[in-house]
Amino acid sequence: MKCSSVPRLYSVVSFILVALLGFTISGCAQRQIPVNYNQLPQVPIQALSADKALIYLYSPDGIDMPIRIDGKPYGELEGRVYTYFYLEPGNHSIVYYDWLLPKSKLAEINAKFEGGHVYHLKQFHETQRTEGGALVQGLVAGLGFSSNAMSRFGEISADEASYLRKKLTLLTTEEDL
């Protein structure tokens, strides 16, 4: 009796494993319909004030990075999100940095921002390979020496910004950052 139950148990276990494998593979095979973000309704920008500059930061890649504004920690901007804030008119520095190396500058923009204007800034990742690798580069930056940024900020068009506001998640308050 023991001999006949072993093949039966083996058959049941094999059937269950094959069924689980089939369900797993069929779940992966489902076709995902891409979203056409150009057809979604517009996401309006925030109210504009004549005495403040309205800054939008877009982080379309999946990289979470803390940011500093004028040397002060502002919070962490998660990947695949965007946020906005207001600045007094004048020269300002916005820096993405590595939280393990607070003196590092992974992306930076120093610019003069004017009141009554909207600025759309996107983080771009550079694909060029640096000598010594990113870890060494980060350590050098952490020690206070200059190094080439691994990514950079750049101003983007209102059309591209509109597209990104539809596609990315909005972080609305400083508590969200």
pLDDT digit of tens for each residue in the chain (177 aa)?
455 566 676 777 777 877 776 666 655 555 556 666 666 677 788 888 899 999 999 888 877 878 999 999 888 888 888 989 999 999 999 998 888 887 888 888 999 999 999 999 988 766 544 444 444 444 444 434 334 444 678 899 999 999 999 899 888 755 444
What residues make up the domain containing 95?
Answer: 46-171
Residue 121's domain is classified under what CATH number? 2.60.40
Contact criterion met (CB below 8 Å) for 61 and 96:
no
pTM above 0.75, yes or no: no
Domain count across the chain: 1
The answer to whether residue 9 is domain-embedded is no
Reading the block at residue 56, the tokens are 């939008």
CA distance 126 to 77: 19
Q: Which residues neighbour 153 within 8 Å (Cβ) at sequence distance 6 or greater?
A: 94, 96, 107, 108, 109, 121, 122, 123, 124
What are the helix (H) ranges across the chain?
2-28, 133-142, 158-167
